[in-house]
Protein backbone atom coordinates (compact mmCIF):
# COMPACT_ATOMS: atom_id res chain seq x y z
CA UNK A 1 0.00 0.00 0.00
CA UNK A 2 2.83 2.40 0.87
CA UNK A 3 4.70 1.59 -2.35
CA UNK A 4 1.56 2.27 -4.39
CA UNK A 5 1.08 5.57 -2.58
CA UNK A 6 4.69 6.62 -3.20
CA UNK A 7 4.48 5.74 -6.89
CA UNK A 8 1.21 7.59 -7.16
CA UNK A 9 2.76 10.76 -5.72
CA UNK A 10 6.12 10.66 -7.48
CA UNK A 11 5.60 8.43 -10.49
CA UNK A 12 8.27 6.53 -12.43
CA UNK A 13 10.76 9.27 -13.16
CA UNK A 14 14.38 10.27 -12.62
CA UNK A 15 13.36 12.53 -9.73
CA UNK A 16 11.61 9.76 -7.80
CA UNK A 17 13.29 9.17 -4.45
CA UNK A 18 12.48 5.48 -4.22
CA UNK A 19 15.24 3.04 -3.28
CA UNK A 20 14.21 -0.62 -2.96
CA UNK A 21 16.22 -2.61 -0.38
CA UNK A 22 15.92 -6.38 -0.73
CA UNK A 23 16.80 -8.74 2.13
CA UNK A 24 18.57 -11.94 1.14
CA UNK A 25 16.60 -13.42 -1.77
CA UNK A 26 13.22 -11.83 -1.16
CA UNK A 27 11.20 -11.16 -4.31
CA UNK A 28 11.15 -7.58 -5.57
CA UNK A 29 7.64 -6.23 -6.32
CA UNK A 30 7.13 -5.86 -10.06
CA UNK A 31 6.21 -2.19 -9.61
CA UNK A 32 9.78 -1.48 -8.45
CA UNK A 33 11.71 -3.51 -11.02
CA UNK A 34 12.72 -0.38 -12.94
CA UNK A 35 14.59 1.08 -9.95
CA UNK A 36 18.18 0.48 -8.92
CA UNK A 37 17.97 -1.96 -6.04
CA UNK A 38 20.23 -2.47 -3.03
CA UNK A 39 20.68 -6.08 -1.92
CA UNK A 40 21.52 -7.02 1.67
CA UNK A 41 23.75 -10.06 1.95
CA UNK A 42 25.00 -11.58 5.22
CA UNK A 43 23.51 -8.70 7.23
CA UNK A 44 25.99 -6.27 5.64
CA UNK A 45 23.98 -3.12 6.37
CA UNK A 46 27.09 -0.89 6.27
CA UNK A 47 27.40 -1.49 2.52
CA UNK A 48 23.74 -0.57 2.07
CA UNK A 49 24.29 2.61 4.07
CA UNK A 50 27.29 3.55 1.89
CA UNK A 51 25.23 3.08 -1.27
CA UNK A 52 22.33 5.09 0.13
CA UNK A 53 24.65 7.99 0.94
CA UNK A 54 26.38 7.94 -2.44
CA UNK A 55 24.69 10.32 -4.94
CA UNK A 56 24.68 7.82 -7.80
CA UNK A 57 22.82 10.09 -10.18
CA UNK A 58 25.34 12.97 -10.21
CA UNK A 59 27.22 11.65 -13.22
CA UNK A 60 24.97 10.72 -16.12
CA UNK A 61 25.74 7.52 -17.99
CA UNK A 62 26.26 9.33 -21.29
CA UNK A 63 28.72 11.78 -19.73
CA UNK A 64 30.74 8.97 -18.17
CA UNK A 65 30.69 7.04 -21.45
CA UNK A 66 32.18 10.06 -23.21
CA UNK A 67 34.79 10.44 -20.48
CA UNK A 68 35.90 6.82 -20.97
CA UNK A 69 36.00 7.40 -24.73
CA UNK A 70 38.25 10.43 -24.29
CA UNK A 71 40.68 8.40 -22.17
CA UNK A 72 40.78 5.60 -24.75
CA UNK A 73 41.38 8.03 -27.60
CA UNK A 74 44.50 9.26 -25.79
CA UNK A 75 46.05 5.80 -25.75
CA UNK A 76 48.05 4.06 -28.49
CA UNK A 77 45.21 1.76 -29.57
CA UNK A 78 42.46 1.62 -32.18
CA UNK A 79 39.05 2.38 -30.69
CA UNK A 80 35.58 1.62 -32.07
CA UNK A 81 32.72 3.26 -30.19
CA UNK A 82 29.45 1.28 -29.98
CA UNK A 83 30.10 -0.88 -33.06
CA UNK A 84 27.84 -3.71 -34.14
CA UNK A 85 29.99 -6.83 -34.19
CA UNK A 86 29.05 -10.47 -33.83
CA UNK A 87 25.39 -9.63 -33.34
CA UNK A 88 25.97 -7.38 -30.31
CA UNK A 89 26.81 -3.74 -29.65
CA UNK A 90 29.42 -3.32 -26.90
CA UNK A 91 30.29 0.14 -25.61
CA UNK A 92 33.84 0.02 -26.99
CA UNK A 93 36.13 -2.38 -28.82
CA UNK A 94 39.86 -1.71 -28.50
CA UNK A 95 42.32 -3.38 -30.89
CA UNK A 96 46.11 -3.49 -30.99
CA UNK A 97 47.88 -5.52 -33.67
CA UNK A 98 45.98 -8.84 -33.65
CA UNK A 99 44.57 -8.46 -30.14
CA UNK A 100 41.13 -7.19 -29.19
CA UNK A 101 39.44 -6.02 -26.02
CA UNK A 102 35.77 -5.40 -25.22
CA UNK A 103 34.96 -2.57 -22.81
CA UNK A 104 31.61 -2.02 -21.10
CA UNK A 105 30.97 1.21 -19.16
CA UNK A 106 28.96 1.62 -15.96
CA UNK A 107 28.92 4.93 -13.99
CA UNK A 108 29.10 3.17 -10.65
CA UNK A 109 30.99 3.95 -7.46
CA UNK A 110 31.86 0.75 -5.64
CA UNK A 111 29.55 -1.66 -7.56
CA UNK A 112 27.53 -4.01 -5.38
CA UNK A 113 28.03 -7.74 -5.59
CA UNK A 114 24.81 -8.42 -7.50
CA UNK A 115 25.43 -5.62 -10.01
CA UNK A 116 29.04 -6.75 -10.48
CA UNK A 117 28.17 -10.41 -11.06
CA UNK A 118 25.46 -9.53 -13.57
CA UNK A 119 27.68 -7.06 -15.45
CA UNK A 120 30.62 -9.49 -15.58
CA UNK A 121 28.37 -12.25 -16.96
CA UNK A 122 27.17 -9.91 -19.69
CA UNK A 123 30.77 -8.87 -20.37
CA UNK A 124 31.81 -12.49 -20.87
CA UNK A 125 29.00 -12.97 -23.39
CA UNK A 126 30.04 -9.79 -25.21
CA UNK A 127 33.70 -10.81 -25.43
CA UNK A 128 32.78 -14.26 -26.72
CA UNK A 129 30.33 -12.85 -29.27
CA UNK A 130 32.90 -10.54 -30.91
CA UNK A 131 35.87 -12.91 -30.53
CA UNK A 132 37.80 -10.63 -28.17
CA UNK A 133 40.54 -12.09 -25.99
CA UNK A 134 39.44 -10.13 -22.91
CA UNK A 135 36.75 -7.86 -21.50
CA UNK A 136 36.87 -4.93 -19.05
CA UNK A 137 34.13 -3.33 -16.99
CA UNK A 138 35.03 0.35 -16.41
CA UNK A 139 33.42 2.09 -13.42
CA UNK A 140 33.89 5.47 -11.74
CA UNK A 141 35.74 4.04 -8.80
CA UNK A 142 36.20 0.82 -6.86
CA UNK A 143 35.67 1.43 -3.16
CA UNK A 144 36.11 -2.12 -1.96
CA UNK A 145 38.49 -4.89 -2.92
CA UNK A 146 37.01 -6.68 -5.92
CA UNK A 147 38.32 -10.17 -6.62
CA UNK A 148 37.80 -9.87 -10.36
CA UNK A 149 40.52 -7.91 -12.20
CA UNK A 150 38.10 -7.20 -15.05
CA UNK A 151 36.50 -4.41 -12.97
CA UNK A 152 38.62 -1.32 -13.47
CA UNK A 153 38.18 2.24 -12.13
CA UNK A 154 38.50 4.96 -14.75
CA UNK A 155 41.73 6.31 -13.28
CA UNK A 156 43.33 2.87 -13.57
CA UNK A 157 42.22 2.25 -17.17
CA UNK A 158 45.37 3.59 -18.91
CA UNK A 159 47.64 1.32 -16.85
CA UNK A 160 45.47 -1.72 -17.54
CA UNK A 161 45.39 -0.96 -21.27
CA UNK A 162 49.19 -0.51 -21.34
CA UNK A 163 49.67 -3.83 -19.57
CA UNK A 164 47.26 -5.58 -21.92
CA UNK A 165 48.85 -4.02 -24.99
CA UNK A 166 52.31 -5.19 -23.91
CA UNK A 167 51.12 -8.77 -23.27
CA UNK A 168 52.34 -11.71 -25.29
CA UNK A 169 49.91 -12.87 -27.94
CA UNK A 170 49.03 -16.53 -27.46
CA UNK A 171 46.74 -16.96 -30.44
CA UNK A 172 45.56 -14.89 -33.37
CA UNK A 173 42.36 -13.05 -32.58
CA UNK A 174 39.47 -13.22 -34.99
CA UNK A 175 39.16 -10.07 -37.12
CA UNK A 176 36.72 -7.54 -35.72
CA UNK A 177 34.85 -5.90 -38.55
CA UNK A 178 31.76 -3.90 -37.74
CA UNK A 179 28.74 -5.00 -39.74
CA UNK A 180 26.20 -2.71 -41.32
CA UNK A 181 24.73 -0.41 -38.68
CA UNK A 182 21.43 -2.25 -38.29
CA UNK A 183 20.09 -2.49 -34.76
CA UNK A 184 17.40 -4.76 -33.33
CA UNK A 185 15.84 -3.99 -29.97
CA UNK A 186 15.04 -7.00 -27.77
CA UNK A 187 11.94 -6.52 -25.62
CA UNK A 188 11.85 -9.44 -23.23
CA UNK A 189 11.41 -10.67 -19.67
CA UNK A 190 14.62 -10.41 -17.65
CA UNK A 191 14.17 -13.67 -15.71
CA UNK A 192 17.25 -15.94 -15.85
CA UNK A 193 15.37 -18.67 -17.73
CA UNK A 194 15.14 -16.35 -20.75
CA UNK A 195 18.89 -15.73 -20.97
CA UNK A 196 19.28 -18.31 -23.77
CA UNK A 197 16.43 -16.69 -25.66
CA UNK A 198 18.57 -13.57 -25.99
CA UNK A 199 22.07 -14.99 -26.37
CA UNK A 200 21.36 -18.15 -28.37
CA UNK A 201 18.34 -17.12 -30.43
CA UNK A 202 17.98 -13.33 -30.75
CA UNK A 203 21.66 -12.42 -30.83
CA UNK A 204 22.60 -15.27 -33.18
CA UNK A 205 19.71 -14.48 -35.52
CA UNK A 206 20.74 -10.82 -35.56
CA UNK A 207 24.30 -11.85 -36.35
CA UNK A 208 23.05 -13.98 -39.26
CA UNK A 209 21.38 -10.93 -40.85
CA UNK A 210 24.39 -8.65 -40.18
CA UNK A 211 22.71 -6.73 -37.38
CA UNK A 212 23.20 -6.23 -33.67
CA UNK A 213 20.73 -7.01 -30.88
CA UNK A 214 20.44 -4.73 -27.83
CA UNK A 215 18.29 -4.84 -24.70
CA UNK A 216 17.78 -2.82 -21.54
CA UNK A 217 18.60 -4.54 -18.30
CA UNK A 218 17.09 -3.05 -15.16
CA UNK A 219 20.36 -3.07 -13.21
CA UNK A 220 22.42 -1.43 -15.95
CA UNK A 221 21.18 2.14 -16.14
CA UNK A 222 21.38 5.51 -14.44
CA UNK A 223 18.55 8.01 -14.77
CA UNK A 224 15.16 7.53 -16.38
CA UNK A 225 15.01 3.96 -17.70
CA UNK A 226 11.80 4.66 -19.63
CA UNK A 227 13.49 7.40 -21.66
CA UNK A 228 16.42 5.08 -22.31
CA UNK A 229 14.05 2.40 -23.59
CA UNK A 230 12.27 4.89 -25.84
CA UNK A 231 15.55 6.13 -27.31
CA UNK A 232 16.81 2.59 -28.00
CA UNK A 233 13.57 1.63 -29.74
CA UNK A 234 13.52 4.86 -31.75
CA UNK A 235 17.04 4.30 -33.07
CA UNK A 236 16.47 0.61 -33.84
CA UNK A 237 15.56 -0.78 -37.25
CA UNK A 238 13.37 -3.55 -35.85
CA UNK A 239 12.10 -5.04 -32.59
CA UNK A 240 11.92 -8.63 -31.37
CA UNK A 241 9.35 -8.86 -28.59
CA UNK A 242 9.17 -11.93 -26.35
CA UNK A 243 5.59 -11.97 -25.10
CA UNK A 244 6.14 -14.88 -22.70
CA UNK A 245 4.18 -14.42 -19.48
CA UNK A 246 2.80 -11.11 -20.84
CA UNK A 247 5.55 -9.23 -19.01
CA UNK A 248 4.42 -5.60 -18.43
CA UNK A 249 7.75 -4.13 -19.59
CA UNK A 250 7.49 -6.04 -22.89
CA UNK A 251 3.91 -4.92 -23.53
CA UNK A 252 4.90 -1.29 -22.88
CA UNK A 253 7.93 -1.53 -25.19
CA UNK A 254 5.91 -3.27 -27.91
CA UNK A 255 3.22 -0.60 -27.72
CA UNK A 256 5.81 2.14 -28.10
CA UNK A 257 7.36 0.30 -31.07
CA UNK A 258 3.93 -0.02 -32.70
CA UNK A 259 3.36 3.72 -32.21
CA UNK A 260 6.65 4.41 -34.03
CA UNK A 261 5.64 1.92 -36.75
CA UNK A 262 8.76 -0.13 -36.14
CA UNK A 263 8.76 -3.61 -37.76
CA UNK A 264 8.20 -6.14 -34.97
CA UNK A 265 8.76 -9.88 -34.75
CA UNK A 266 6.78 -11.47 -31.92
CA UNK A 267 7.79 -14.65 -30.09
CA UNK A 268 6.30 -16.44 -27.09
CA UNK A 269 7.12 -19.46 -24.92
CA UNK A 270 3.84 -19.49 -22.99
CA UNK A 271 0.32 -20.28 -24.31
CA UNK A 272 -0.76 -17.74 -26.92
CA UNK A 273 -4.36 -17.75 -25.69
CA UNK A 274 -3.12 -16.20 -22.43
CA UNK A 275 -1.93 -13.06 -24.22
CA UNK A 276 -3.93 -9.80 -23.99
CA UNK A 277 -6.74 -9.76 -26.55
CA UNK A 278 -5.34 -6.85 -28.58
CA UNK A 279 -2.12 -8.70 -29.47
CA UNK A 280 -3.38 -12.29 -29.26
CA UNK A 281 -4.15 -12.39 -33.00
CA UNK A 282 -0.82 -10.91 -34.10
CA UNK A 283 1.45 -13.33 -35.94
CA UNK A 284 3.61 -14.83 -33.19
CA UNK A 285 6.37 -17.44 -33.28
CA UNK A 286 5.89 -20.04 -30.55
CA UNK A 287 8.97 -21.61 -29.03
CA UNK A 288 9.88 -23.89 -26.15
CA UNK A 289 12.37 -22.96 -23.47
CA UNK A 290 15.53 -24.97 -24.03
CA UNK A 291 14.97 -25.10 -27.80
CA UNK A 292 16.37 -21.69 -28.60
CA UNK A 293 18.59 -22.97 -31.41
CA UNK A 294 15.41 -23.74 -33.34
CA UNK A 295 14.05 -20.31 -32.43
CA UNK A 296 17.16 -18.76 -33.93
CA UNK A 297 16.37 -20.40 -37.27
CA UNK A 298 12.73 -19.29 -37.05
CA UNK A 299 13.82 -15.67 -36.48
CA UNK A 300 16.28 -15.38 -39.36
CA UNK A 301 13.75 -15.35 -42.23
CA UNK A 302 11.42 -12.62 -40.88
CA UNK A 303 14.42 -10.51 -39.89
CA UNK A 304 15.84 -10.79 -43.40
CA UNK A 305 12.52 -9.68 -44.86
CA UNK A 306 12.44 -6.68 -42.53
CA UNK A 307 16.06 -5.57 -42.82
Is the Cβ–Cβ distance between 296 and 205 less than 8 Å?
A: yes
How far apart (Å, rounded) are the C-alpha atoms in residues 140 and 90? 18
Q: Per the domain annotation, does 175 fall within a domain?
A: no
Residue 165's CB: how many other CB atoms inside 10 A?
A: 15
27 versus 221: the higher-pLDDT residue is 27
Residue 83's CB: how many other CB atoms inside 10 A?
A: 20
- 187 and 155 housed in the same domain: no
285 versus 46: the higher-pLDDT residue is 285
- 45 and 145 housed in the same domain: no
Beta-bridge partner residues of 8:
none
Beta-bridge partner residues of 109:
141
Is the Cβ–Cβ distance between 275 and 287 less than 8 Å?
A: no
- 146 and 217 housed in the same domain: no
What DSSP assignment string belongs to 140-204? Answer: SB--S--S-TTEEEGGGHHHHHHHHHTSPP-SPPPP-----S-EEEEE---SGGGHHIIIIIIHH
- 14 and 87 housed in the same domain: no
Q: Per the domain annotation, does 99 fall within a domain?
A: yes
- 144 and 190 housed in the same domain: no
The count of structural domains within the chain is 3
Q: Per the domain annotation, does 174 fall within a domain?
A: no
- 272 and 231 housed in the same domain: yes
Q: Per the domain annotation, does 14 fall within a domain?
A: yes
Q: Per the domain annotation, does 204 fall within a domain?
A: yes
Query: Whose CA is closest to 239, among 180, 179, 182, 296?
Result: 182
Angle at 220 between CA 236 and CA 53, to 5 degrees: 145
- 188 and 300 housed in the same domain: yes
Task: Give the pTM.
Answer: 0.60
Is the Cβ–Cβ distance between 98 and 172 less than 8 Å?
A: yes
pLDDT tier at 10, thresholds 50, 70, 90 = low
CATH number of the domain that residue 201 is part of = 3.40.50.450
pLDDT tier at 259, thresholds 50, 70, 90 = very high
pLDDT at res. 18: 76
- 85 and 159 housed in the same domain: yes
- Region 24-47: what's the mean pLDDT? 71
Choosing from 165, 192, 223, the residue where a domain stops is 165
- Region 18-29: what's the mean pLDDT? 75
Residues 28, 34, 36, 40: what is their CA dihedral angle, to the nearest 10 degrees? 0
For residue 241, the SS3 value is: strand
Residues 269, 271, 276, 281: what is their CA dihedral angle, to the nearest 10 degrees? 90
- Region 176-191: what's the mean pLDDT? 76
Q: Per the domain annotation, does 170 fall within a domain?
A: no
- Region 86-108: what's the mean pLDDT? 88
Residue-range definition of the domain harbouring residue 23: 2-53
Cα 201 to Cα 2, 51, 258, 287, 303, distances in angstroms? 40, 36, 22, 10, 12
pLDDT at res. 16: 55
- 233 and 301 housed in the same domain: yes
- 188 and 284 housed in the same domain: yes
Amino acid sequence: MEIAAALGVMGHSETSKIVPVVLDRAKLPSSLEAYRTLFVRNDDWSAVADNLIEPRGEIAEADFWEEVGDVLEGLDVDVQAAPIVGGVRPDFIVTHNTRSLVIEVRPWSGPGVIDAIHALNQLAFQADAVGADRGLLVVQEVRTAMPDPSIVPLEGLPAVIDSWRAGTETQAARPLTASKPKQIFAAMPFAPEYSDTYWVAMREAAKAVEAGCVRVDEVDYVGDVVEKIKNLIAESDAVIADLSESAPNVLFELGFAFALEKPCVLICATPLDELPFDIRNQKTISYAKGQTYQLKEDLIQPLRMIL
